[in-house]
Each structure stands twice: as C-alpha cells, then as structure tokens.
Amino acid sequence: MTDPLTPRLRIGIDTGGTFTDVVAFDERTGALTVTKTPTTPDDPAEGFMTGLAKVLRLAGAGPEAIAAVSHGTTIATNQLLEGEVGQLGFITTDGFEFMLEIARQSVPDGYGNSYFWVKPDRIVPPDLVKTVPGRLDHTGTELEPFDEAQAAQVARWFADRGIDTIGVCLLHSYANPAHEQQMARVLAREHPRAVVSLSCLVLPEYREYERAMTTLIDAAVKPRMSRYLAAISAQLAELRSGAVPLHVMTSGGGVATAHEVIGRPISTVLSGPAAGAVGAAMTAHNAGIDRVLTCDGGGTSSDVAVVVAGEPALTTEGAVGAYPSKIPMVDVVTVGAGGGSVAWLSPEGTLKVGPRSAGADPGPLCYARGGREVTVTDAHLALGRIPPHLLGGEMPLDEAAGRAGLAGLAARLGMTWPDCAAGILEISAWNQANAVRQITVKRGLDVRDFTLVTFGGSGSLLGCPLIEILGLRGLLVPPNPGNVSAFGLLTVDVRAEYVRTCIARHGQLDYQVMAARYDELAGQARAALLAQGFPAGRHRLLRSADLRYFGQAYELRVPVRADGPWAEVAGAAVAAFHAQHRALYGYDFSGDQRQQVEWVNLRVTGIGPIQRPKLAELAPGDGGQERALTGHRPVVFARSAAAVRTPVYWRPRLAAGDTLTGPAVIEEYGATVPVHPGFGVRVDNFGNLLIRSGGG
C-alpha cells in the first residue's frame, strides 16, 4: 500500500493579471483538483501561497503531499511592459560604445503618421556605457588580449556610483566566451554586490545589437525575479519543512528549475502565455484536432498562438513591450482585449476598447473595489452573458454599478446602454480577431483551416462572434478553461536549449565541424538534464538549425535529423527550409542552383520527460441534458436586439454526447460560455465543448 505521507501531488500555479490559477494532479489516483484565487499585484508571492493552501484544502491533503510545484509567472513580463528596467550599466568592447544607437529601425504605428522610420529608446544612457580593450574575430580567435587592468577600473567605476545591475556583451563572445568570463571574474572581485548578465550565457548568437539588448533585459529583470523565486522557495520549504522542487515555465514551452531561471530570467518573459498554449495543444490533440489556434483570454489581455501537429509554433524574433528579445519563445500575439479592458472615448468621440485595463485592483466597476471606468466585464454582466458572480459564487458582482457606468458612457455616445454594451463587446471581438489574423494571415496560414481553442476566464465569452468574423471551422472549449494555463504547467517537459552560431553556405559545409559542434551542444544539454535529476536513459535530444538564403537578413528554423550520413541529413534540412519558405512567403529557390542556402545557427534542445496527467473521459449521457439546466435569464446577444429568455446550464452536469443549441449559457466554476443563436454545441468524450455555426 502507498504511504499516505509519500509526496504525490504535482501542482501547477499560474499567476495572471486578475487571478492566480491552480491545478493539483494526484500521481497516485490521477485526480485533478482546480481552483482560483485573486492575484495580489503588490506581492505576487502572497497570491501564490494562498492558491497553494486553497488547492491543498480542496484536495484533502497536507503540505507533505507536495511532490513538485510548476509555476507560470508574469513578474518579468509585467516589469518589461511597464518599462521598469531600472538603472543599468553596460560593458562592451572598446570602440563599440554606440552599439545601442545602431539598433533596428521600425514603423511602430504605420505610415500615416508624421514620422516614418524610428529607433527604440536606449535601454542604457550613454554615460553608463563603459568599454574594455580586447578583441576577438568572428571565429573566436584572439586579435588583442583582454585588458584586465582597464576592466578593473570599469568595475570600480560602476561600484563607486552604485550601479549594481550590469550587462556584459563583448564582440564575438558567441564564438569564444573567454573575454566575457574574465570580465565576470573582475566584477566579482572589484564589485561583489553587482548582479551581472553575460551575453555568452544569455544568447550565444551573432548579431551584436540583439545580443546586447537581450543580455541587458536579462540583467534588468534578474534582481526582481531572483528575490521573488527566493521568497516563494523559502515559503515552500517552511510550509513542508524541507525543500520543494520548484520549476518555472519558460517562454520556449518547457520548464526549468528555479535555480536555472534565476541564472537566466529572460527565459520567462512569456511564461504564462507559453503554459496556456502548451495546455491547449495537449487538449486539442486528445480531441483529435491537430491544427488549432489558441486564445487565452484573461483580465488584461488575450494571447493568441498557433499549434500544428500538437506543437506550438516558436520564434526567436519576439519582443516584450518595447524591448526586442531573441530567446526561443512560443510565437504569441498579445492584444489588450481582456475582461478588464477599459471602454473609452477617443478625442474624435468614437468608442474604443483597450488596450488599457482596470486590472485586478480596482478592477471593473462591478467588482465594487473602487473602479471608475466601464470594462468588457461590465458589458458582459449587464447583457446577461455572465452570471452576477465569479468563481462559482465566491465573488459576487455589483450589476447596478456596471449598468450605471454604461448608462453614463452611452449618454455621451447618444445611444442606449444595451447598445453601448453590445458595441463594447463587438469592438473587443474584432480586437481579438485582428490578433488571430496577425498570427495566421501574416504567416501565410489560412485561418479557415483552424479550430479555435479558447480558455482563460474571459477567453470563451466572445467565441461565437469570432467564428463568424474569421470563418473558423469551430470552437473548442476545454473543461475548466479558466485553469488551462495552470494545467499546461503539468504537461510540459523540462527543456534545456543550447545554440551555437556557425555561418556557412550549404555547398561549403564542413560536416566534421558540424558534427563536433552538435556533439558539444548535446553534451551541454545532457549535463543540464543530469543536473536536474533525469538519468541518461530518459534524455531526448532534438536538433535544429536556422537557415536562410544567402543575402537574406533573417532565418527560418528547421529540424535536423540525428541519424544518417551528414550529407543526407544536411540535404533534408535544406529541403525542409525550401518548403517552409514557400509556405510562409509563397515562393522558394529550390530549383535555382544560383541561390545558395546559408546555415547560421545550430541548436540542440534537451528534453527531460515528465509524467503527464491523463485526461479523464466522461460517461456517456442518456440524452437528457436537462439534468444540467439550472434556470433561465434574459440575455442580449447582439446590438439593437431584444433580450432573449435563455436557458442556463451547469457544465459539470453535462455528459459525453450531449448536444445543445443556442441561445444558451454554459457556466462552470471559472468560466462562462455564451452560445449565440444559430450555434450548436456537442460535448465530446473528454468533456470539451465543440461549438460550430449551424449545429453541434
């Protein structure tokens, strides 16, 4: 018999803008326990521990039952979105002090403005940039020795001025980290309180500007992230009287230990959205759908991603707020269209929604916490699309306060408050649709080929309008949609990713050099997995490469086989590149021998597999879905339409095979799904709601 005191619960905790979502998986029984608790923005650790205590109570377990905790956090994300990078120092190679001025030009708001090409603001002012003599060439060969005496002067200069957060990016350190490692030793000796990020550890790739920016962003978020993870690690240890394994979701779709993340916190900048995309991908795969779009609707924003063949698409050309970052991350488009998005009037008198949000505190008017602006949640409540409470009744809502705010806004627009509320929701739906188009049409994908998986507290509220606007195949709403991101934390493997720049044209590849560099990267990945407790027999290694046509500025990532003669392996990678280029841009040069393919970066991802929760299947129903009916209420489904007496169903009472037709409202603990007239719903064997226009 299993010892009841044996650790058996793996717990996923995802901290969002409004709520902290928690899921506990019992490895002994397979049971899942889900709950939510309000996020505490001033001290996210408080909401984390409150959610942990709550899920343990619901699971009937004590702290000794905790086997591991996986965490999705917005600490780094929010800090960068708010532009709070603090006072940073930057050390680079002598003669390259204006690297940040080079930057990359962009057109942030289109061509219709008074300015065209602009560069982002500096993350470090010129007076806090210092240089050190010493030079490497692009192969890593030393041309000029590192000047340790000058490096010591630079370290003391920063120490004397209280600049304690420093990024180091020396020329060509991706090819040879020796000079940066020497600089790190000097800083440790001369400025021991400094928090330091080295580009050779953060992003060992070429392109000096992106490498410098990514390194400086890593340095900027490191102090706050280190304090936060140290705080929750200490509280977990105190709770269970011993260390609790703590993993943190990374932007690339895996988890890493808290220790690994503290050393490279830039890897968590899209922690929450990545967890949601991975959880939704697994749900859709089990439902037999392999081409899906995921829409994670929260209180502040909606995050949209693409999943093909069960895997979310990745990119290394992302950004968080105004700051570019080249780390591997789930390809997510974020739009300010969440439940807390504020409705406001432009100077021209037109109605706008978002991107500003009322957040968790004070929140929407109906939260009755001092909010003063109308939000999307207020509109949903006033039209009857959500109940007069959240979290299954734990959080009552003030419908009168929301309606009063809508009436005031409607008067300024010269319309009725129901039409104003419906207009707010229409605009919010179009905002989400535009995000979907950015991640599909702009990437050469036909949105009509995809099913939309909606989750998060507000993700499914506008699902039916999105089907109509985009022409989607349909909608899939997982069970407990408000907790999919937390559930996703329990489905992802530990990942360790390593990269090495190796620029060469395909016809001039040295296969021995390629093999040696892949072996070196594989050794690093294996060492990282061993350090995290995965025996060699459980390691999985995936190889990939960044390729481009010679003369292009950016690359596409393609898989690289691990077996076969190198000439065949490299040829297969090039063929995959041609196919991917054609799918993305509509053309390729596969038949033109004059246009050569160039290899840029070699990559190895080490994967330590974990035990995934098995999704429980529902018992088939008897055709009597009235068992789930809890009552009726008037609901407005469109602008200028009358309220419709609408049946309300409690989702946990629905069974496999049940079908419903709109109008209907389906409620559960953490989310609500309004089913508009003309839409049908079918419940599949795993409890997913499959919604399509015209039928279930």
Q: What pLDDT, on the 0 to 100 scale, is given for residue 93?
A: 97
Same domain, 202 and 109: yes
What is the band of 567 on the pLDDT scale with cuts at 50, 70, 90?
very high
pLDDT tens, residue by residue, 23-56: 999 988 888 899 988 888 888 999 999 999 999 9
Same domain, 126 and 236: no
In a domain, 526, yes or no: yes
Same domain, 76 and 169: no
Pick from 303, 434, 253, 285: nearest CA to 294: 303
Q: What pLDDT, on the 0 to 100 scale, is given for residue 5?
A: 54
Q: What pLDDT, on the 0 to 100 scale, is given for residue 244?
A: 85
pLDDT tens, residue by residue, 518-546: 999 999 999 989 888 888 888 999 999 99
In a domain, 546, yes or no: yes
Q: What pLDDT, on the 0 to 100 scale, is given for residue 105?
A: 63
pLDDT of 503 higher than 70: yes
CA distances from 47 to 19, 43, 162, 245, 258 (A): 9, 7, 33, 19, 18
pLDDT tens, residue by residue, 612-629: 777 778 888 877 788 999
Number of structural domains found in the chain: 4
pLDDT of 445 higher than 90: no
In a domain, 312, yes or no: no
User: Which residues does 159 contact at the CB level (< 8 Å), separation at least 6?
Assistant: 190, 191, 193, 194
In a domain, 96, yes or no: yes
In a domain, 434, yes or no: no
Highest mean pLDDT among 30-39, 79-88, 544-553: 544-553
CA distance 459 to 337: 10
* 562-568 CB contacts, 8 Å cutoff, 24+ apart: 566/511, 566/514, 566/515, 567/511
Q: What's the average model confidence in pLDDT over 327-355?
A: 87
Q: Tell me which of 574, 608, 642 is where a domain ends.
A: 608
pLDDT tens, residue by residue, 187-225: 999 999 999 999 999 999 888 898 999 999 999 999 999
Same domain, 186 and 252: no
Q: What pLDDT, on the 0 to 100 scale, is given for residue 114?
A: 45
Pick from 658, 665, 694: nearest CA to 679: 694
Q: Which amino acid is at 356?
A: R
Lowest-confidence range among 275-289, 318-332, 632-646? 318-332
Q: Tell me which of 551, 578, 608 is where a domain ends.
A: 608
Q: What's the average model confidence in pLDDT over 164-184?
A: 96
Q: Which amino acid is at 306?
A: V
Pick from 605, 685, 679: nearest CA to 637: 679
Alpha-carbon Rg for the chain in angstroms: 26
Same domain, 122 and 216: yes
pLDDT of 111 higher than 60: no
Same domain, 39 and 70: yes
Q: What pLDDT, on the 0 to 100 scale, is given for residue 361?
A: 74
Q: What's the average model confidence in pLDDT over 430-450?
A: 88
Question: 654 exposed, middle or buried (CB, 10 Å; 0-12, 13-18, 19+)?
Answer: buried
CA distance 545 to 570: 10
In a domain, 110, yes or no: yes
Same domain, 214 and 233: no
Same domain, 163 and 198: yes
- Cα(first)–Cα(last) distance of the chain, in Å? 45
Highest mean pLDDT among 63-77, 101-115, 680-694: 680-694
Same domain, 213 and 235: no
Q: What pLDDT, on the 0 to 100 scale, is given for residue 27?
A: 85
Q: What pLDDT, on the 0 to 100 scale, is given for residue 116?
A: 53
Same domain, 27 and 149: no
Same domain, 555 and 595: yes
**Cis-peptide, bond into residue 355, ω within 30° of zero:** yes
CA distance 658 to 96: 66
**Cis-peptide, bond into residue 312, ω within 30° of zero:** no
CA distance 605 to 542: 5
Looking up residue 50, the CATH number of its domain turns out to be 3.30.420.40
Same domain, 110 and 181: yes
pLDDT of 252 higher than 90: no
Q: What pLDDT, on the 0 to 100 scale, is given for residue 117?
A: 57
Q: What pLDDT, on the 0 to 100 scale, is given for residue 113?
A: 46
Q: What pLDDT, on the 0 to 100 scale, is given for residue 1?
A: 36
Average predicted confidence (pLDDT) for the chain: 89
In a domain, 658, yes or no: yes
Q: What pLDDT, on the 0 to 100 scale, is given for residue 118?
A: 63
Residue showing tokens 């627009």: 413
Range of the domain at 134: 83-221
What is the band of 315 on the pLDDT scale with cuts at 50, 70, 90?
confident
Q: What percent of the chain shows pLDDT beyond 90?
A: 56
In a domain, 151, yes or no: yes
